Amino acid sequence: DVKVTQSSRYLVKRTGEKVFLECVQDMDHENMFWYRQDPGLGLRLIYFSYDVKMKEKGDIPEGYSVSREKKERFSLILESASTNQTSMYLCASSFQGFQTYEQYFGPGTRLTVT
């Protein structure tokens, strides 16, 4: 079974702190994604990576950065956390090509910024 794990289920940080969210997948997927999930808005793509050290901005990249140094690991970084970044963050991975659309999701990290 594909497994996508996220480093924390719940995280509480203070405004202005630097926050790292980690995601690891064990299926040798080329693609990895970071989404933000908010009530009534569904999932919105923050960043996408299709290879090590490669990344593309999604729909809402402002205030976020990412790092992919190894194929299995994709990190989301909040350089200076703000209260409007309080949300559920979901990581996903997939193969490339036609299988890009079949994404496997982690359980999510609920981040609260106070």
Burial label for 79, CB within 10 Å (0-12, 13-18, 19+), is: exposed
Task: Give yes or no for residue 92 binding other proteins (CB under 8 A).
Answer: yes
Residues 63-82, mask of contacts with other proteins (x by CB under 8 A):
--------------------
Q: Could you tell me the smallest distance in angstroms from the CB atom of residue 6 to other proteins?
A: 8
Beta bridge partners of 24: 5, 73
The Cα 81–Cα 112 span in angstroms is: 10
Please choose, from the candidates 58, 53, 62, the residue with its C-alpha nearest in 3D space to the C-alpha of residue 92. 58
H or E stretch at 46: strand 42-51
CB of residue 17 vs other proteins: minimum separation in angstroms?
Answer: 25
CB of 65 to other proteins, least distance (A): 19
Other beta carbons within 10 angstroms of residue 14's beta carbon come to: 10
105 binds other proteins (CB under 8 A): yes
Residues 11-50, interacting with other proteins (CB under 8 A): 31, 40-45, 48, 50
Residues at the site binding other proteins, with contacts judged by CB under 8 A: 4, 31, 40-45, 48, 50, 58, 90, 92, 98, 100-108
